[in-house]
Amino acid sequence: MAFPGKCLMGLISPTVLGVLASKYGVDERKIEEMLREAVNDVSRMLRRFVRARQYSFADRLANAAGREAVAAALYESLRISDSTLRAGRTLDENVKPYVAKESSVKILLDLLDVDLVSGLEAVKRAAVLALARRPARKEKKVEEAEKLAEGEEK
């Protein structure tokens, strides 16, 4: 449930969305969509490190207290992901790195510039999502079958 006067799950005020919308030349709903995609994209990159049991980037983003700490953690995670990918290596055994899109990083950094608290909450959300356990494919199929069965029973 969204909080009144807030967007992106209650993290960003309409005023902040308006400033970003003006900067990007789009409406507020598009900015909210772009921010949601950016959080998910950065989370996808961080999740690769978590799967490789390298928690430091997720920890640093979850606990960041300023823009500089976020920028440093993003830079280092992007740098390691990019160099590992270019070298044709993996982060750990079979964990292939993923490099977040430039547009995702840019909008998160812009959000930090416009409203530090909202920006810190957005990167913390990315870190938390990266740590959340995703169901294995087999589990996912079982869950989908259970949902279908529930729908048939009603």
pLDDT recorded at residue 9: 52
Q: Please, what are the averages of pLDDT over each run of 10 residues along the chain (154 residues)?
A: 46 92 95 96 96 96 97 98 96 93 98 96 96 68 61 54
Residue at 4 is within a domain: no
Question: 137: exposed, middle or buried (C-beta count within 10 Å: 0-12, 13-18, 19+)?
Answer: exposed
19-38 b/e with 16+ CB inside 10 Å = b? bbbeeeeeebeebbebbeeb
Residue at 135 is within a domain: yes
pTM of the complete model: 0.81
What is the spatial distance between Cα 57 and Cα 53, in angstroms, rounded to a whole number?
Answer: 11
Count of domains for the chain: 1
Residue at 2 is within a domain: no
pLDDT recorded at residue 39: 97
What is the spatial distance between Cα 48 and Cα 70, in angstroms, rounded to a whole number?
Answer: 18
Q: Which domain holds residue 121?
A: 14-153
pLDDT recorded at residue 94: 87
Residue at 39 is within a domain: yes
pLDDT recorded at residue 126: 97
